[in-house]
A and B are shown apart, each in its own frame.
Chain A
Amino acid sequence: MENDKILALQKTALEIRLGIVEAVYNAKSGHPGGALSSADILACLYFSELNIDVNNPKWENRDRFVMSKGHSCPGLYSALALKGFFPAEELKSFRHTGALLQGHPDMKAISGVDMSAGSLGQGFSCACGMALAAKLNGKDYRTYALVGDGESQEGQVWEAIMFAAHYKLDNLCLIIDNNGLQIDGRVSDVMNTMPYESKLEAFGWNVITIDGHNIEEILCAFESAKKVKGKPTAIVAKTIKGKGVSFMEDQASWHGKAPNEEQYNQAMAELTAYKNSLGGNN
């Protein structure tokens, strides 16, 4: 894989992270932890993997992405803004009264959002429906869904996992943002969901485990997923909640809390400094 491409995506991921912090700070509300943990995955999806057209958001042959862990929408919105689906200014009015960007994804109002989400477990089932529609319609678009590890405690997620294997949805890719934390603490303490690999394989899925912050691994996993026929692929991405902002990393308390002004300044400075340190063409 070209180093230039990897570098570019690393920078994009940092831009997404800047947008996340901006949105949540301005809203004084929102979920930074789980958005930051999936920023690298989002960068790869929106700037490498997904076959979409910003000028035709409802293009019927587009690849679909569902942010099933809907509360991580600051990341989704940040990626969509960067891509040009709507003005980046909108991030500053996230969650404000009368604003475009709702606290959880709203497919009716927001260009680029393929499915509304928020009540955990549902988005992923919707993604299964989209993948099934492709099979029924003889279309070759792919459908991707991001599910949280806490979210995978919802029984519906496993209903959908059964369903996807049963209907051989090899055009579906599930990504699990395995950041190990949820509101009440470590996932392993609250309600253990591990190991994913053996569970998913038992359900009839192809499974790839990766470092969810390694651009090359993410891209390779997407490539591998496309080659597997007859069964859907799950990418179990080991991530760090709050990744990119030192004081948020691996802290359950940053699940759904906005930074104050001082914290905001520190976060933005860290992310900007890291972005600048990457070098290469800006």
Chain B
Amino acid sequence: MADKIATREAYGNALAELGEINKDIVVLDADLAEATKTCIFKKKFPERFIDCGIAENNMFSVAAGLSTCGKIPFASTFAMFAAGRSFDQVRNSIGYPHLNVKICATHAGISVGEDGATHQCNEDIALMRTIPGMVVINPSDGVEARAAVMAAVEYQGPVYIRFGRLALPIINDNEGYKFEIGKAIKMAEGTDVTIVANGMMVAEALEARKMLAEEGISASVINAHTVKPLDADTIVNDAKRTGAVVVSEEHNIIGGLCSAVAEAIGESYPVPVVRHGVEDVFGKSGPAKELIEYYGLNAKGIVEKAKKAISLKK
């Protein structure tokens, strides 16, 4: 397996790569360029980098204005501030007029680590998903992060992509890998339970599948990188086969991928859907790896929930 890379790093690199080939791209940040990695683009194209200072609300509306004048703005800050603080701006300046702004938010989830609760955003997917017309993506590794950025720039309309601080293993380095907005990727087949995951939990889901196999349980794994529009067909079709679903994400179990999947399953083919994520609590400070264990956001946690889902089968 290749070296680990944080998806925020892959994002920063992808932006710099895009800057070469697309002259309309401008990048905005709110004094976090070193953290969000937009600094890589800034170094190469300083005249197209706009630091807005610690004034996120202004930044997102400025991005909206820029997008009406031929620019393709990528606006970055931490997920907490992009989806949280500036929800109104993202919804009203960008979402409502359906403008071509790419909201690329880093430091999402528990894996922010030491900064603690005020910075550990476990609500961003839920918030962004409720905006009509918003595309919401949570890439699972550096390869997918780059692919998501490339797909976002081709797409006409607002896109929210969340990236993490923690270095993750590359899991999408297979030759046939293809990223398409709204198309979930079946990573592995199974017959007893469907594991749907995105972001950092996809690697954990693959690990969980191995652990379940040792106990004679066959699990499929679906990478639902795009939460909106959700690839309900792929997920429902697999649920028809297994009869039980577990959803795993680095997010509150309320409102994110877990909820999106539960909605789709509930309306099409009702089978048990068990949610695995942050159980409606605030985060805490600590090294990311330890917090992941503390909050059970790992393969072991998925295995537990998968068994619960199976036990609920009629």
Contact = CB atoms under 8 A, between A and B. Distances in A.
Nearest to A70: B92
B62 A125 contact: yes
11 contacts: A115-B97, A121-B57, A127-B65, A132-B50, A133-B68, A136-B26, A136-B47, A136-B71, A156-B57, A159-B53, A159-B55
A131 B65 CA distance: 8
A128 B65 contact: yes
A165 to B, nearest CB: 12
A27 interface: no
Interface residues of A, number: 33
A244 to B, nearest CB: 30
The listed residue with most A CB atoms (<10 A of its CB), out of B55, B68, B71, is B68
Contacts of B73: 129
Interface in A120-143: 121-134, 136-137
Given A108-B98, A122-B92, A132-B50, A115 B58 contact: no
A210 interface: no
Interface string A164-200: 0011000000000000000000000000000000000
Contacts of B58: 125, 128, 156, 159-160, 162-163
A144 to B, nearest CB: 13
A155 interface: yes
Given A114-B68, A119-B93, A132-B62, 16 more contacts: A115-B64, A125-B61, A126-B64, A126-B93, A129-B62, A129-B65, A129-B66, A129-B67, A129-B69, A129-B73, A132-B50, A133-B71, A156-B58, A156-B89, A159-B55, A160-B58
B48 interface: yes
A114 B97 CA distance: 11
A156 B62 CA distance: 11
Nearest to B47: A136
A146 B73 CA distance: 24
A130 B68 contact: yes
Interface string B32-70: 000000000000000110101101011011111111111
A163 B48 contact: no
B282 interface: no
Given A107-B97, A134-B69, A137-B70, A163 B62 contact: yes
B55 A126 contact: no
Interface of B: 26, 47-48, 50, 52-53, 55, 57-58, 60-71, 73, 88-89, 92-93, 96-98
Contact of B92 (A108, A118, A160): A118
A1 B52 CA distance: 41
A53 B119 CA distance: 47
B62 A126 contact: yes
Interface of A: 60, 106-108, 114-116, 118-119, 121-134, 136-137, 155-156, 159-160, 162-163, 166-167
B92 A119 contact: yes
B258 to A, nearest CB: 30
Contacts of A106: 97
A133 B66 contact: yes
B101 to A, nearest CB: 10
Contacts of A137: 69-70
B69 A119 contact: no
Contact of B70 (A131, A133, A159): A133
B33 to A, nearest CB: 16
Contact of B61 (A131, A133, A134, A156): A156
A60 B97 contact: no
Given A108-B98, A134-B69, A162 B53 contact: yes
Nearest to B57: A156
Contacts of B93: 116, 119, 122, 125-126
B53 A130 contact: no
A129 B64 contact: yes
Contacts of A130: 65-66, 68-69
Contacts of A160: 58, 61-62
Contact of A122 (B47, B55, B89): B89
Nearest to B96: A116
A114 B69 CA distance: 10
The listed residue with most A CB atoms (<10 A of its CB), out of B53, B58, B66, B97, is B58
Given A125-B61, A129-B63, A163 B55 contact: yes
B108 to A, nearest CB: 24
Nearest to B51: A166
Nearest to B69: A133
The listed residue with most B CB atoms (<10 A of its CB), out of A122, A128, A134, is A122
- 10 residue pairs, one from A and one from B, having the closest CB atoms: A129-B65, A125-B61, A133-B69, A159-B58, A126-B65, A159-B55, A129-B62, A129-B66, A116-B97, A119-B92
A155 B183 CA distance: 40
Contacts of A166: 53
A131 B61 CA distance: 13
A52 to B, nearest CB: 14
